[in-house]
């Protein structure tokens, strides 16, 4: 079976574990609609993505997959009225689904 996305790291007949890596850039444009005082200058910053998951091949075309990834950024969100800020905004995403390959 071929892997078209991600780097295969383990493969047992119908189950395949994989790793994904990525580099890019982020840009946030935050406006404070809640009144809590968060603001952001909107500068671009570097970002990276690291994740992995499992694929279960039902047959040659159908597969089930699940995984998670973390987005790592160097963006800072500051509170202009205070001394504190949130540095290096990170988030985790998880997914599961069914895939059909033509």
Q: What is the pLDDT of residue 3?
A: 46
Is a pLDDT exceeding 80 seen at residue 11? no
- pLDDT tens per residue, range 14-45: 898 999 999 998 876 666 666 665 555 566 77
Going by C-alpha positions, the residue among 102, 93, 12 that lies closest to residue 55 is 12
Percent of the chain having pLDDT more than 70?
60
The structural domains of the chain, with segments of one domain joined by +, span 7-100
Task: Show the beta-strand stretches assigned E in the chain.
Answer: 7-12, 15-27, 44-57, 62-73, 76-78, 85-87, 90-100
Question: Is the pTM here over 0.75, yes or no?
Answer: no
Q: What is the pLDDT of residue 27?
A: 75
């Amino acid at each position: 079976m071929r892997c078209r996305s991600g780097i295969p790291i383990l493969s047992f007949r119908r189950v395949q574990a994989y790793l994904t890596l990525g580099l890019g850039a982020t840009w946030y444009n935050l406006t404070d609609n809640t009144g809590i005082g968060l603001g952001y200058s909107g500068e671009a910053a570097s970002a990276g993505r690291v994740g992995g998951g499992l694929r279960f091949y039902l047959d040659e075309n159908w597969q089930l997959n699940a995984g998670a990834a973390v987005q790592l950024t160097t963006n800072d969100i500051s509170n202009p009225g205070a001394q504190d800020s949130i540095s290096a905004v990170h988030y985790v995403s998880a997914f599961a689904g069914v895939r059909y390959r033509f």
